[in-house]
Amino acid sequence: MVDVVLVILVIASIILAFAIGTNDETFAPVVGVKRLSVRSAVIIGAIIAVFGAFLLAPKVSDTLNNDISTIQISNEIVLIISVFISMAICLILASIFGLPISSTEAMVGSILGLTIARGETIIWSWKGMGHIFFTWAISPILGFIGSFLLMKLMNKILSRTVKGLSGLETSNAISGSLLLIMVVIAGFSRAGNDISNAIAPIYPLFQNSDTSIFYQRIPMLLGGVGLGLGLIVIGWRVLKSLGNDVVELTPESAFITQASSALITLVATMLGIPVSGTMILVASFIGAGYGSKKTINLKSVRTIVIFIFLTPLFSGLCAVGFYYLLRGVL
């Protein structure tokens, strides 16, 4: 029976890792400025995902425990699988439409749905949902303002230094290279962080002091491969959509987008302000667009915003549905 549970958990983990990979927008700015083609970006992204997930130590100790409700999903396998499958469905569906969504949002929606369905209590205080709502409100604002101001500063510097097309091309080449380096680092770190969610339930099962380090790292490898496959099979849609549809990027504005979202995330983490990486990145795109006086495709932005609001609702309903279905089967 233990083996069956392990197999189910491994499959659920790989599916979630795959789903996270489908919605990985890290390489979108590089694709947006045509520094890499979508094909090259997904291949490099997949390689980085595998190495990042395998090499970086996972932080899985309390990933599946939460402070937003009295329900603790790590206590029941049915709860874990319901949350994982609903998250995976949300992420994959959004990716098929080419829309970046926050995996945290999907997870919170699932947990809240299950909390309500089981008649447990949602914690609305600052330590619970207050914290989450603050994150969702502050992330896009910080992302927008940060990239808007940095873009204005960058434009000022460029207007004084770039005198001709030759200078512009040099600036493009430098910005493009810096952008590529930042994206690779972000890809590594994201693979390490995001995989933690997916492999949380199976990671402890592989940690045995008698086994080799390679064996202990199998969950990360599985997660990395799942993430990489997700990026290759469906993830290109999100890269193409965010990189090309929302706003027309230049290497400079793409670099600002990536740099400001990394900077804001770092500063916010240091100050203890919770933020969402996806929301910051999407808002940074828009902020950099306004900062460089480029036309923003409001239709794409509106669709992304609608999906941001629908994600918790949809994942909550999915999680409840799967919870009752699995309870009947297992």
- Out of 122, 162, 233, 273, the only residue in the binding site for other proteins (CB under 8 A) is 162
Q: How far is the CB of 144 from other proteins (least distance, A)?
A: 22
Stretch that binds other proteins, among 6-14, 156-164, 215-223, 296-304 (CB under 8 A): 156-164
Stretch that binds other proteins, among 20-28, 104-112, 174-182, 186-194 (CB under 8 A): 174-182
- Write out the chain in H/E/C secondary structure: CHHHHHHHHHHHHHHHHHHHHHCCCCCHHHHHCCCCCHHHHHHHHHHHHHHHHHHCCCCCCCCCCCCCECCCHHHCHHHHHHHHHHHHHHHHHHHHCCCCCCHHHHHHHHHHHHHHHCCCCECCCHHHHHHHHHHHHHHHHHHHHHHHHHHHHHHHHHHHHCCCHHHHHHHHHHHHHHHHHHHHHHHHHHHHHHHHHHHCCCCHHHCCCCCCHHHHCHHHHHHHHHHHHHHHHHHHHHHHHHHHHCECCCHHHHHHHHHHHHHHHHHHHHHCCCCCHHHHHHHHHHHHHHHCCCCECHHHHHHHHHHHHHHHHHHHHHHHHHHHHHHHHC
- Under the criterion CB under 8 A, does residue 257 sit at the interface with other proteins? no
Q: Which residue, chain included where needed, has tokens 């469905």?
A: 89
- Under the criterion CB under 8 A, does residue 158 sit at the interface with other proteins? yes
- Under the criterion CB under 8 A, does residue 36 sit at the interface with other proteins? yes
Which residue's CB is nearer to other proteins, number 70 or number 170? 170
Which residue's CB is nearer to other proteins, number 142 or number 151? 151
- Out of 155, 189, 193, 297, the only residue in the binding site for other proteins (CB under 8 A) is 155
Stretch that binds other proteins, among 63-71, 99-107, 160-168, 279-287 (CB under 8 A): 160-168
Calpha distance 74→84 (Å, rounded): 11
Window 75-104: contact mask with other proteins (x via CB under 8 A): ------------------------------
Window 38-77: contact mask with other proteins (x via CB under 8 A): --x--xx---------------------------------
- Out of 7, 37, 59, 267, the only residue in the binding site for other proteins (CB under 8 A) is 37
In contact, 263 and 146? CB cutoff 8 Å: yes
Query: How many residues touch other proteins (CB under 8 A)?
Result: 25
Calpha distance 80→64 (Å, rounded): 8
Which residue's CB is nearer to other proteins, number 159 or number 209? 159
Q: How far is the CB of 172 from other proteins (least distance, A)?
A: 7
Q: How far is the CB of 173 from other proteins (least distance, A)?
A: 4
Window 15-34: contact mask with other proteins (x via CB under 8 A): ------------------xx
Q: Residue numbers of the site for other proteins (CB under 8 A)?
A: 33-37, 40, 43-44, 155, 158-159, 162-166, 168-170, 172-173, 176-177, 180, 248
